Amino acid sequence: MKFRHFWSGTILALAVVIIAAPAVAQRPPQTQGDPREAVALNPVEAEKMLAGMRTYLETIQGIVAALAENDTSRIPPIARKSGAKMLEEVAPTTGLKTPMGFSMMSFDTHDKFDKLADKAAKGASRSELLTDLRDIMGNCISCHATYRLAP
């Protein structure tokens, strides 16, 4: 009887290790004191990702400037710079290296920029556009609070 419990426990433990090992192996160790999940990319991929984030900031600044000047007609082409078309420049292998939550948030953010562009093109109010921009910024803040580039 003890022998059977030993093997059933051992098999269960091995199954847990086999199932969990790939997930653990894909995550680089955390930097001491930084609880955010690491995104491990090679230097070229990391630079492209950082360039994309700078494009987000430039896009947001352009949208804010257009709203401040009450010229929403400028917003569609500005917002599209950070829309889904941006993803065409990302190698599929890079996407496979990022955590699922990171990828989903990225897709959602690009989609939000495209939707904001569509709303601006259809004459949405400044308030509606600011609400969409608020939601985009929420994604940015959430992403930076949750993930970090691995050294």
pLDDT along the chain (151 residues), means of 10: 43 39 47 87 95 97 97 97 94 92 96 98 97 98 96 74
What φ, ψ does residue 46 adopt, rounded to 5°?
-65, -40
In this structure, what are the phi and psi dihedrals at residue 149, rounded to the nearest 5 degrees? -75, 135
Amino acid occupying residue 60: I
Nearest C-alpha neighbor of 94 from the set 138, 50, 56? 50
Cα–Cα distance for residue pair 138/119, rounded to 1 Å: 19
pTM more than 0.75: yes
With beta carbons less than 8 A apart as the criterion, state whether 110 and 139 touch.
no
pLDDT of residue 31: 54
